[in-house]
Amino acid sequence: MNTDEVRQAVTLDPVWVAELRAQWTTLMELAVWGEVKSSRMGAATRMRKRLLDVGEKLRSLAADRDWIPHPREQVKNALGSAFSLKDALLQFERAAQDMDGGNDSAVFGELAVQLHQSLLTRLPELENSWAALLDSQYLDEESDD
């Protein structure tokens, strides 16, 4: 596994990253400044924290991995970021289910679904390609022994 192959594999499409960022930013703006409410005490605060976590995990997924010296570790980092993002997304979606009121609640729900779809239409393919890349490297190392 050469460095250029790994760099290309773990670098996300910048157009897709921009779309995800815009979707998350719109959701965050609605969550903080919009009229998205819950009848459950503390639910809105929990949901905002979970959404912020999704943003942090998105940033981690899209990050440049050139600072990681070993190509295998770059791929592992990308896989770990994808898994963390999916977990954060699930936690956010659970928290968002408690949002049951406010003028922006319906739009917020639709945008949350759009972000989910945007992520889960591409993430499995990326994860599979990264896992295959790792497997090929381990097989290459075994054949060198």
Residue 140, number of CB atoms within 10 A of its CB: 10
Picking from 16, 27, 11, the residue whose alpha carbon sits closest to that of residue 75 is 11
For residue 145 the two structure tokens come to: 């022994």
Q: Are 10 and 81 in contact (CB under 8 A)?
A: no
pLDDT at residue 5, rounded to an integer? 87
**Residue-by-residue pLDDT tens, the chain, 145 positions:** 678 889 999 999 999 999 999 999 999 999 999 999 999 999 999 999 999 999 999 999 999 999 999 999 999 999 999 999 999 999 999 999 999 999 999 999 999 999 999 999 999 999 999 999 988 876 665 555 5
Q: Are 81 and 39 in contact (CB under 8 A)?
A: no
pLDDT at residue 145, rounded to an integer? 53
pTM of the complete model: 0.89
Tell me the three state secondary structure of residue 2. Answer: coil
* Beta bridge partner(s), residue 37: 101
